């Protein structure tokens, strides 16, 4: 029986049997839809990627104001386009490790202060030029210079010096950092000829594709780079269409105008999943929807008031109603299981009695004002209303003020003491903590100032013993969870969808959206 | 000077003056927008250094009056400045999009205007009978539904279920005219439904108004059939108000398509404007505002001129 099913699956993969017919036959033979689908994807993987064809992606998060300059990439479309034509020194693997891209190998000195990256030889840019160590050095300098506008500036700060040495590039750091390769996998740090100083938006790189046309915020077309050194890139042509409207994006997938979309709205994901030729993929990720309190501003400088609010939120309800189940419960720390050195802490539960107790103890009476807008995360006003209700059952009066969408990031976030916000997460604990919870961090949006935490962060960064480091990060998460100004009820999954026409989607890849931005070069179009 | 030329000259001068006033309003209006362009460009990933660098580069701290005249002078020479966010030359960036918007508006007008006038004539011919009532009911319903909803419904039925036309109205230079028309079929339909009712009802009302006149009665007594009366005698005399409402709706087809362009991902001015408004890219917002105002005023001016020319008392001055 199983042999017969496998035969049918291979027929379906080869296109001799439609997916629908296959599922019908499988059901008739007593297979559940889940196991039939598993068979199908197994057979597809066994058949291997197919080359050629056109892969079309409809993506949210692109704007006519974008630029092809990797330093200025801020959104999904920018990430996906950059990944087509350019490459970084190293990259995250599908299981969260690090692998060499333009760097063939790398090693750290014993004190984790000096890192040496050996450049892969014989790699050329799409204009035929050879990649040199000098280009790498200039690229790093362009992103770390004081007058740069690069989104990678924050992570480049700890680097004291970058120099070329034969076929290697040497990084000297201010202080030990065991995570440097994770930082250098940042998607802004695309190696460009001459560091991209001459024409940063020329899209000349070493990637699997060559850009043919780029209409910002509208449409991008790329063709396979015949001289690409690696094995990425299955489709002959990749077309990216920017579709910011949720309904239009889903309709484009359903009508077969595109084969892949990102950000399926959780509200309708279950409905989309029911369409016969569409598969919805969910990847748990480091991004989290949060409520942030300034721990240095009254009344949020009061430990008990913060605890009252933390006990007054119903996290399960948020995941159910705001994410429609496409996410996981948060624990008031920005770290979840998607991080490499994660330790599970005791889950904080909704507890009206404890909330009431802490509220009384805080001595605060009257209401607490929460500001929100849909711009901070999708459904934020609804989440705020849920928070308001759960607080009510604990006797806490929460006022919700809805702010305009535009200007939210400049007027409300990081300005007002209590508001809704969103964090995309970072590849390592060190980076997440350094970005937002170190007392001197630029984006310390909870105004968290804890000496012990700061010291542990610096110590953990230089610690090469993984077990010790893991313990340190667990301790730091505990401090944040109990002392911090972060209320983190939920981590949102990346919800994405593909049609029958394409295969090769891998769920659960850590990092960014759509298989860490590699969906366009790893998926294949079925003949 | 003949009175008709004088009238026309007056009308054109008035339009130009109006445009100048509007340029002041646009400029002043965009200056008082809340928020900060540098912060909006960098979004949540803004560091203080990056903000300061960007602000200095953008020159957003210079005095406004000087900036207004520099801008106006540039605009009169066809130079709309550079976009703050991307550093692109706005005139060249907008040119393609302007023609895309005009392309969409043109084909929507090609469908909507004759259809509206035909339906208007039909409604008059069958006044108060079922065709008249049906036309009124359908067009009124379509104008009462928000256009994005019509768009979504059409998208679901026509693109997703029936697969007659694409849901994304993506056009580019490599396409043939037929491919382009196929791509924009849905937005054209929505725009047609949105403007149809207004034009149809004005046509109907204008002709019915003329039908009260004595010479129509004469025509009827001559024994002409109803269609001939409407077509040869009533319609020509109703042209001025009809042209007026047609022009008003043409203007809407150009300046009011913002929502439709965003929903159907059409690369026109509307989408460009929306993106730049949310980033506080003031020069682009000003440029789009100015162009939209010019189109609006221009089409209204044409309507007035046609009205003047179609009025025999002005065409043949004593």
Q: Would you say A315 and A486 are in contact if contact means Cβ atoms under 8 Å apart? A: no
Which residue of B44, B168, B276 is in closest CB contact with A409? B44
Please tell me the distance from the alpha carbon of residue A302 to that of residue A321, in angstroms, as a whole number: 30
Q: Is the pLDDT of residue A443 over 60?
A: yes
Give the number of A-B residue pairs with CB atoms closer than 8 Å: 118
B85 or A189, greater pLDDT: A189
DSSP assignment of A479-504 equals HHHHHSSEEEEEEEPEEEEEETTEE-
All residues of chain A having their beta carbon less than 8 Å from the beta carbon of residue B185 are none
Give the model's pLDDT for residue A427: 80
The helix (run of H) or strand (run of E) holding residue A182 is: helix A180-184
All residues of chain A having their beta carbon less than 8 Å from the beta carbon of residue B168 are 58, 241, 243, 248, 252, 257-258
Which residue of A65, A151, A257 is in closest CB contact with B45? A151
Helix (H, G, I), strand (E, B) or coil at A329: strand
Q: Is residue A242 exposed (0-12), middle (13-18) or buried (19+ Cβ within 10 Å)?
A: buried
Pairing of strands A398-402, A278-283: unpaired
CA distance A119 to chain B (A): 30
Q: Is the pLDDT of residue A393 over 70?
A: yes
All residues of chain B having their beta carbon less than 8 Å from the beta carbon of residue A74 are 42-43, 45
Please tell me the distance from the alpha carbon of residue A232 to that of residue A336, in angstroms, as a whole number: 30
Least confident of A33-47, A49-63, A296-310, A453-467: A33-47
All residues of chain A having their beta carbon less than 8 Å from the beta carbon of residue B41 are 65
Give the model's pLDDT for residue A236: 96
Q: Which residues pair with A239 in a beta bridge?
A: A56, A221
Give the model's pLDDT for residue B37: 66
**B167 with A149: Cβ contact below 8 A:** no
B261 or B83, greater pLDDT: B261
Q: How confident is the model at residue B42 (pLDDT cuts 50, 70, 90)?
A: low
**B86 with A66: Cβ contact below 8 A:** yes
Q: How confident is the model at residue A48 (pLDDT cuts 50, 70, 90)?
A: confident
Rounded to a whole number of angstroms, the CA Rg of chain A reads: 24
CA distance B65 to chain A (A): 25
Q: Would you say A244 and B262 are in contact if contact means Cβ atoms under 8 Å apart? A: yes
The helix (run of H) or strand (run of E) holding residue A116 is: strand A114-119
Residue B222: DSSP 8-state: T
Q: Is the pLDDT of residue B154 over 70?
A: yes
Pairing of strands A168-173, A114-119: antiparallel
Residue A505: DSSP 8-state: -
CA distance B60 to chain A (A): 16
Tens digits of per-residue pLDDT, B194-215? 888 889 988 888 888 888 888 8
Nearest to B117 by CA among B305, B249, B224: B249
Residue B136: DSSP 8-state: H
B270 or A522, greater pLDDT: A522
Give the residue-averaged pLDDT of A390-406: 91
Number of Cβ within a 10 Å radius of residue A267: 15
Nearest residue of B to residue A220 by CA position? B172
Q: Is B55 on the interface with A (CB under 8 A)?
A: no
Q: Is B136 on the interface with A (CB under 8 A)?
A: no
Nearest residue of B to residue A376 by CA position? B44
Give the model's pLDDT for residue B34: 60
A44 or B185, greater pLDDT: B185
Give the residue-averaged pLDDT of A22-41: 68
Rounded to a whole number of angstroms, the CA Rg of chain B reads: 24
Give the model's pLDDT for residue B84: 74
**A248 with B267: Cβ contact below 8 A:** no
Give the model's pLDDT for residue A476: 96
Among A149, A424, A443, most B C-beta atoms within 10 A, so best to mutate, is A149
Give the residue-averaged pLDDT of A124-131: 94
Give the model's pLDDT for residue A293: 95
Q: Choose from A120-129, A504-513, B199-208 the range with maximum mean pLDDT.
A: A120-129
Q: Would you say A84 and A209 are in contact if contact means Cβ atoms under 8 Å apart? A: yes
Please tell me the distance from the alpha carbon of residue A451 to that of residue A447, in angstroms, as a whole number: 13
Give the model's pLDDT for residue B216: 85
The sheet with strand A103-108 has its strands ordered as A103-108, A114-119, A168-173, A159-165
Q: Is the pLDDT of residue A509 over 90?
A: no
**B42 with A244: Cβ contact below 8 A:** no
Q: Is residue B298 exposed (0-12), middle (13-18) or buried (19+ Cβ within 10 Å)?
A: middle
Nearest to B301 by CA among B1, B3, B2, B19: B19
Q: Choose from A258-267, B23-32, B220-229 the range with maximum mean pLDDT.
A: A258-267
**B265 with A406: Cβ contact below 8 A:** no
Please tell me the distance from the alpha carbon of residue B280 to that of residue A406, in angstroms, as a whole number: 9
All residues of chain A having their beta carbon less than 8 Å from the beta carbon of residue B49 are 146, 153
Check residue A349 and give left, alpha or beta (phi > 0: left; psi -120 to 50: alpha): beta
**A153 with B160: Cβ contact below 8 A:** no
CA distance A221 to chain B (A): 12
DSSP assignment of B247-298 equals HHHHHHHHHS-HHHHHHTT--SHHHHHHHHHHTT-HHHHHHHHHHHHHHHHH
Give the model's pLDDT for residue B13: 93
**B47 with A216: Cβ contact below 8 A:** no
Least confident of A121-125, A343-347, A398-402, A425-429: A425-429
A191: its two tokens: 């190696």
Give the residue-averaged pLDDT of A438-462: 91
Q: Is residue A250 exposed (0-12), middle (13-18) or buried (19+ Cβ within 10 Å)?
A: buried
Dihedrals φ, ψ of B3, to 5°?
Answer: -60, -30
CA distance B271 to chain A (A): 8
Tell me what the pLDDT averaged over chain A comes to: 89
Nearest to A254 by CA among B168, B175, B189: B168
**B42 with A149: Cβ contact below 8 A:** yes
Q: Is the pLDDT of residue A469 over 60?
A: yes
Q: Is the pLDDT of residue A413 over 80?
A: yes
Pairs from B254-257 (Cβ < 8 Å, separation ≥ 24): B254/B101, B254/B102, B254/B105, B254/B292, B254/B295, B254/B296, B254/B299, B255/B292, B255/B295, B255/B296, B256/B194, B257/B101, B257/B104, B257/B105, B257/B187, B257/B191
The helix (run of H) or strand (run of E) holding residue A399 is: strand A398-402
CA distance A422 to chain B (A): 9
- Sorted by sequence, the CB contacts under 8 Å of residue A428 that are 6+ apart come out as A179, A182, A339, A340, A341
Please tell me the distance from the alpha carbon of residue A478 to that of residue A344, in angstroms, as a whole number: 10
Least confident of A227-241, A465-479, B78-92, B126-140: B78-92
Please tell me the distance from the alpha carbon of residue A381 to that of residue B38, in angstroms, as a whole number: 26
Among B53, B147, B160, most A C-beta atoms within 10 A, so best to mutate, is B160
Please tell me the distance from the alpha carbon of residue A364 to that of residue A298, in angstroms, as a whole number: 10
The helix (run of H) or strand (run of E) holding residue A103 is: strand A103-108
Least confident of A22-36, A307-321, B89-103, B129-143: A22-36
Helix (H, G, I), strand (E, B) or coil at A129: coil
Among A61, A65, A256, A412, most B C-beta atoms within 10 A, so best to mutate, is A65
Q: Is the pLDDT of residue A303 over 90?
A: yes
Tens digits of per-residue pLDDT, A155-200? 788 889 999 999 999 999 998 888 899 889 999 999 999 998 988 9
**A219 with B276: Cβ contact below 8 A:** no
Number of Cβ within a 10 Å radius of residue A412: 21
DSSP assignment of A33-75 equals HHHHHHHHHHHHHHH-PPP-SEEEEEESS--TT--S-GGG--S
CA distance B290 to chain A (A): 19
The helix (run of H) or strand (run of E) holding residue B30 is: helix B3-31
Q: Is the pLDDT of residue A351 over 70?
A: yes
Nearest to B230 by CA among B201, B208, B202: B208
Pairing of strands A398-402, A368-372: parallel
Q: Is the pLDDT of residue A11 over 70?
A: no
Tens digits of per-residue pLDDT, A81-102? 999 999 999 999 888 889 999 9
Q: How confident is the model at residue A322 (pLDDT cuts 50, 70, 90)?
A: very high
Q: Is the pLDDT of residue A13 over 70?
A: no
CA dihedral A255, A261, A266, A272 (to 10 degrees): 30
Least confident of A165-174, A231-240, B11-20, B166-175: B166-175
Q: Choose from A27-36, A93-102, B36-45 the range with maximum mean pLDDT.
A: A93-102
Q: Which residues pair with A421 in a beta bridge?
A: A290
- The helix-helix angle for A33-47 and A2-13 (nearest 10°) equals 60
Chain A residues at the B interface, defined by Cβ less than 8 Å, are 58, 63-67, 74, 146-151, 153-154, 213, 215-219, 241-245, 247-248, 251-252, 254-258, 405-407, 409-411, 413, 422, 442-443
**B35 with A65: Cβ contact below 8 A:** no
Q: Is B122 on the interface with A (CB under 8 A)?
A: no
**B262 with A442: Cβ contact below 8 A:** no
Please give the angle made by the CA atoms of A281, A287 and A292, to the nearest 5 degrees.
145
Q: How confident is the model at residue B50 (pLDDT cuts 50, 70, 90)?
A: confident
Give the model's pLDDT for residue B253: 87
Q: Is the pLDDT of residue B193 over 80?
A: yes
Among A250, A251, A422, most B C-beta atoms within 10 A, so best to mutate, is A251
B108: its two tokens: 């929507």
Tell me what the pLDDT averaged over chain B comes to: 84
**A65 with B43: Cβ contact below 8 A:** no
Q: Is the pLDDT of residue B278 over 70?
A: yes
Q: Would you say B145 and B68 are in contact if contact means Cβ atoms under 8 Å apart? A: no
All residues of chain B having their beta carbon less than 8 Å from the beta carbon of residue A442 are 47-48
Which residue of B50, B86, B159 is in closest CB contact with A153? B50
Q: Is B48 on the interface with A (CB under 8 A)?
A: yes
CA distance B92 to chain A (A): 13
């Amino acid at each position: 029986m199983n042999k017969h099913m496998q035969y049918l699956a291979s027929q379906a993969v080869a296109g001799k049997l439609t997916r629908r017919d296959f599922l019908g036959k499988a059901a008739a033979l007593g297979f559940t839809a889940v196991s039939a689908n598993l068979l199908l994807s197994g057979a597809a993987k066994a058949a291997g990627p197919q080359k050629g064809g056109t892969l079309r992606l409809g993506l949210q998060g692109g704007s006519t104001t974008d630029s092809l300059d990797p330093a200025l990439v801020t959104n999904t479309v920018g990430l996906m386009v950059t990944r087509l034509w350019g490459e970084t020194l190293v990259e995250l693997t599908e299981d969260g490790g690090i692998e060499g891209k333009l760097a063939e190998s790398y090693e750290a000195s014993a004190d984790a202060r000096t890192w040496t990256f050996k450049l892969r030889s014989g790699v050329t840019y799409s204009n035929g030029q050879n990649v040199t160590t000098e280009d790498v050095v200039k690229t790093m300098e362009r992103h770390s210079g004081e007058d740069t506008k690069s989104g990678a500036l924050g992570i480049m700060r700890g680097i004291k010096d970058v120099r070329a040495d034969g076929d290697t590039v040497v990084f000297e750091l201010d202080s030990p950092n065991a995570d440097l390769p994770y930082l250098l996998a940042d998607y802004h740090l695309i190696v460009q000829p001459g560091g991209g100083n001459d024409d940063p938006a020329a899209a000349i790189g070493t990637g699997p594709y060559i850009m043919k046309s780029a209409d910002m915020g509208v449409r991008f077309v790329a063709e396979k780079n015949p001289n690409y050194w690696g094995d990425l890139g299955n489709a002959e042509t990749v077309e990216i269409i920017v579709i910011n409207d949720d309904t239009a994006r889903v309709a484009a997938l359903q009508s077969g105008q595109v084969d892949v979309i990102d950000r399926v709205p959780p509200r309708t994901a279950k409905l989309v999943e029911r369409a016969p030729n569409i598969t919805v993929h969910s990847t748990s990720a480091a991004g989290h929807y949060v409520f942030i309190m300034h721990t240095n501003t009254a009344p949020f400088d009061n430990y008990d008031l913060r605890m009252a609010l933390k006990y007054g939120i119903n996290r399960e309800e948020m995941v159910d109603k705001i994410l429609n189940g496409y996410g996981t419960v948060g624990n008031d720390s920005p770290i979840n299981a998607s991080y490499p050195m994660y330790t599970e802490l005791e889950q904080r539960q909704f507890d009206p009695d404890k909330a009431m107790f802490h509220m009384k103890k805080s001595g605060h009476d009257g209401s607490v004002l929460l500001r929100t807008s849909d711009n901070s995360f999708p459904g934020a006003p609804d989440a705020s209303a849920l928070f308001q209700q759960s607080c009510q059952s604990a006797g806490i009066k929460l006022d919700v003020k809805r702010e305009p969408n535009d200007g939210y990031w400049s007027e409300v976030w990081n300005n007002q003491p209590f508001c809704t916000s969103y964090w995309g997460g970072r590849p390592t604990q060190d980076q997440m903590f350094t970005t937002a919870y170190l007392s001197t961090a630029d984006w310390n949006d909870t105004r968290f100032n804890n000496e012990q935490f700061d010291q542990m962060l610096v110590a953990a960064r230089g610690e090469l013993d993984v077990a010790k480091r893991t313990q340190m990060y667990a301790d730091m998460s505990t401090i944040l969870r109990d002392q911090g100004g972060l209320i983190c009820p939920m981590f949102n999954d990346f919800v994405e969808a593909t049609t029958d026409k394409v295969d090769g989607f891998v769920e659960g890849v850590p990092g960014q959206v759509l298989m860490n931005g590699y969906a366009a070069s790893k998926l294949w179009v079925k003949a | 000077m003949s009175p008709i030329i004088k009238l026309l000259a007056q009308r054109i001068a008035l339009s130009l003056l109006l445009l100048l006033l509007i340029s002041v309003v646009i400029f002043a209006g965009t200056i008082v927008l809340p928020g900060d362009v540098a912060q909006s460009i960098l979004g949540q990933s803004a560091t203080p250094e990056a903000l300061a660098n960007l602000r200095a580069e953008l020159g957003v701290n210079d005095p406004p009056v000087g900036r207004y005249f520099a801008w106006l002078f540039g605009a009169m020479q066809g130079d709309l400045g550079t976009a703050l966010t991307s550093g692109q030359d706005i005139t060249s960036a907008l040119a393609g999009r302007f023609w895309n918007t005009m392309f969409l508006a043109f084909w929507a007008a090609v469908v909507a205007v004759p259809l509206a006038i035909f339906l208007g004539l039909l409604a008059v011919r069958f006044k108060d009978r079922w065709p008249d009532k049906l036309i009124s009911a359908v067009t009124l319903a379509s104008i009462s539904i928000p256009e994005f909803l019509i768009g979504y419904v059409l998208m679901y039925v026509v693109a997703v279920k029936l697969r007659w036309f694409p849901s994304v109205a993506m056009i580019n230079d490599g396409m043939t005219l037929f491919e382009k028309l196929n791509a924009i079929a849905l937005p054209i339909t929505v725009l047609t439904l949105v403007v149809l009712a207004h034009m149809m009802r004005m046509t109907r009302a204008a002709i019915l108004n003329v039908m009260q006149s004595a010479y129509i009665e004469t025509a009827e007594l001559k024994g002409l059939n109803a269609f001939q009366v409407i077509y040869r005698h009533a319609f020509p005399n109703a042209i001025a108000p009809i042209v007026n409402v047609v022009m008003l709706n043409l203007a809407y087809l150009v300046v009011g398509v913002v929502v439709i362009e965003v929903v159907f991902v059409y690369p026109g001015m509307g989408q460009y404007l929306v993106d730049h408004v949310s980033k506080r890219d003031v020069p682009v917002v000003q440029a789009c505002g100015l162009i939209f105002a010019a189109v609006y005023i221009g089409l209204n001016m044409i309507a007035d001129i046609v009205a003047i020319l179609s009025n025999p008392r002005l065409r043949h001055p004593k």
